[in-house]
Structure 1
């Protein structure tokens, strides 16, 4: 059973998500939080597998709550899935920086949301290309000058790993990376694993950030 904590400042939204989660035989809601402080406290008390986290909440917003959860060693197994809209581009990217495993639009279809919870609970990052590309490209149109040091990518990775990292940054799945580079799926996964280790990345979401911040992928690429 995948345990899910729902965090949103609107009771109706929380209730709707909880009902949806409980409707799936392999998922179960373990609590509801009306603000970021409560989300963090319930995460520590309930140790859910996944937190569905809204961004705009009182007392402590979803970004800071995400940062608090992912920074707590006792909550290492808790994954945060941020709920957002296209009106919150900068905030969604900041949530990835804070350690979120991915993000969804609030108008996501119910079946897709349940699948997203399963994906995140399994240790993968949820980075749908249509959402990822728009959010990250919009954010990186206004980076600090030092944020993009050059097109060579991060230091310490091989040329093939740079190619893989660039494709991750573009939102490619493992299967798509394997097809693009004409390698086996297991080889693509091996490259991803090495990148996670070399870049000390928590998950695939942080690899996307590394691809953009290192200059390996630029806004408007592909």
Structure 2
């Protein structure tokens, strides 16, 4: 009896139901529009940008909102295509100012995080630093002692174990750029909260890495 070859069915995008392909396409369109909003309209909040994008395109938020990671990828693509030298110069300038702030706050072991670190910041972005102290009062006293103006805020983050926490934030300006300091306990220097973009431990960069990023760009 002749040997019969077994065939395997390959599942391709074409084999997907039309409504699934359409939903994926809409998500891409919403992500692209949300990225444009973040890049050009001064919006900093991903969720707000996604809702505004869905409204402009005229689709249901429930079905069409992409993930934050999809929007970040679209934002990186948009900035690579349309940002040009001005975008790269802005990132370099923000990183330079961040490094100045990190030297000013060296006693608190500052770490750069967020859009200035990953290169998706725009002209309206704050510089985000994580700092570490016994209490927020220690950081506040550091500013009072040097007669530096500042404001205090609070921020909700998702901790590394998944629980939500409210943490203190100190905001000040350097060279007309807002810098936000999220204050963590000294014990949490090696325990990064979850990234609001992909849910993984948030990437942090110390002064040496920021210096390297700047040197790499100027080489």
Q: TM (normalized to structure 2)? A: 0.28
* Larger Rg, first or second structure (1 or 2): 2
Q: TM (normalized to structure 1)? A: 0.28
